[in-house]
Amino acid sequence: DAGVTQSPTHLIKTRGQQVTLRCSPISGHKSVSWYQQVLGQGPQFIFQYYEKEERGRGNFPDRFSARQFPNYSSELNVNALLLGDSALYLCASSLGWGSQETQYFGPGTRLLVL
Amino acid sequence: AQKITQTQPGMFVQEKEAVTLDCTYDTSDQSYGLFWYKQPSSGEMIFLIYQGSYDEQNATEGRYSLNFQKARKSANLVISASQLGDSAMYFCAMRERKTTDSWGKLQFGAGTQVVVTP
C-alpha cells in the first residue's frame, strides 16, 4: 500500500507570494495533520482535520489555512509568505481520532522563501 | 513550558552496540500516548514505537524498545545492535487527551542526532 504522499517535494517562492501544499493520506485514513519543521527543531503542529472538519489548530497566524476534501486529501495554504516560513512542511495521516492513533508521515515539502 | 525534553543533542555509537535515547515529558493528564520517530537526512518521519500511558508492559518493536517509567515521566528509547542505517535524528513525541473522545496534537521534542560508526 502507498504511504502518505505530498506534493511538490521542493518549492521556492518569494516574500509576499502564496503557496499551496498538497497531501494524500494512506488509503483508509480519515485524519490528516500538518506540521512545520524549521531547520534544527522538532515539528510544530499547524492543523488537524478529521472527516473534513478542523479538529485542531496550532499557534500559527491566519495566513495559514487548510482544508480536507471528500477523498480525505488535504491542502495547506500559506498567504503573504515571510522569510521565516522557510521550512519542511510535513503531512501525517491516521485512521481516525481514537486514543492510540499513530500518525504516519509523508516525505514533506521543502519550502524556501527568498 | 516544554512538554517533551530530549537532553542529548547528539551522540555517537559503534555498530552492533546498544544506545539509549533519553526523553522526559510533562503532562497532568492521566491518559496520553508517547511516540518515537526516526528522521533520516531525507526528511521523512518514520514511526518506530508507541507506548500508551495505561500500558503496563514496556513497548517493543524489533530492535526498538521503550523504557517507560511513568512515575518519573520518562520514556527512553533503546536501540539494540545498532546498524549504520540507524544514523538519523530521533524524536520523542507525546499526544495528550484533549476531551473524553478526542486527542490533541502530537508535541515533539528537539530531537537527538545519532551517528553510528563502523
CA atoms of B61 and B48, how far apart (whole Å): 7
B61-78: average pLDDT: 97
* B42/A35 touch (CB, cutoff 8 Å), yes or no: no
In the prediction, which pLDDT does B2 show? 75
User: For A51-57, which contacts have Cβ atoms below 8 Å and span 24 or more sequence positions?
Assistant: A55/A31, A55/A97, A55/B102, A56/B98, A56/B104, A56/B105
pLDDT, residue B99, reads 65
- Copy the grid coordinates of residue B99: 476531551
The pLDDT of B67-83, averaged and rounded, is: 97
Write the DSSP symbol of residue B84. G
Answer yes or no: is pLDDT of B79 > 90.
Answer: yes
Say whether B47 and A41 touch across the interface (CB within 8 A).
Answer: no
Q: Residue B80 has what pLDDT?
A: 96
Which of A103, A110, A112 has the most B C-beta neighbours within 10 Å, making it the best mutation to test the interface with B?
A103
pLDDT score, position B1: 66
Q: Tell me phi and psi for residue B50, to 5 degrees.
A: -130, 145
| Parallel/antiparallel/unpaired status of strands B112-117 and B60-61 | unpaired
Number of neighbours of residue A75 by Cβ within 10 angstroms = 16
pLDDT for B30? 87
Phi-psi region of A40 (alpha: psi -120 to 50; beta: other; left: phi over 0): left
Give residue-wise pLDDT tens across range A86-114.
999 999 999 886 656 889 999 999 999 99
Residue A1: its pLDDT value, please?
A: 64
Q: How far apart are CA B113 and CA B11, in angstroms?
A: 6
| The dihedral sign for the CA sequence A84, A90, A96, A98 | negative
B28 Ramachandran zone, left/alpha/beta (phi>0; psi -120 to 50): alpha
Q: What is the pLDDT at residue A88?
A: 97
User: Per-residue pLDDT averaged across A66-85, rounded?
Assistant: 97
The pLDDT confidence band at residue B31, using thresholds 50, 70 and 90, is confident
Residues of B in contact with A97 (CB under 8 A): 101-103
In this predicted structure, the answer to whether residue B100 has a pLDDT above a threshold of 80 is no
Mean per-residue pLDDT over chain A, rounded? 93
Identify the CA nearest to A92 among candidates A74, A110, A78: A74
Residues within 8 A of A (CB atoms), B 31-50 only: 31, 33, 35, 37, 42-47, 50
Percent of chain A with pLDDT over 90: 83
CB contact under 8 A, B45 and A110: no
CA distance B3 to chain A (A): 12
Is A42 buried (19+), middle (13-18) or exposed (0-12) by CB count in 10 A?
A: buried
Residue B23 pLDDT exceeds 60: yes
When pLDDT is averaged across residues A9-31 and rounded to a whole number, the result is 96
Confirm if A99 and B95 have CB atoms less than 8 A apart: no
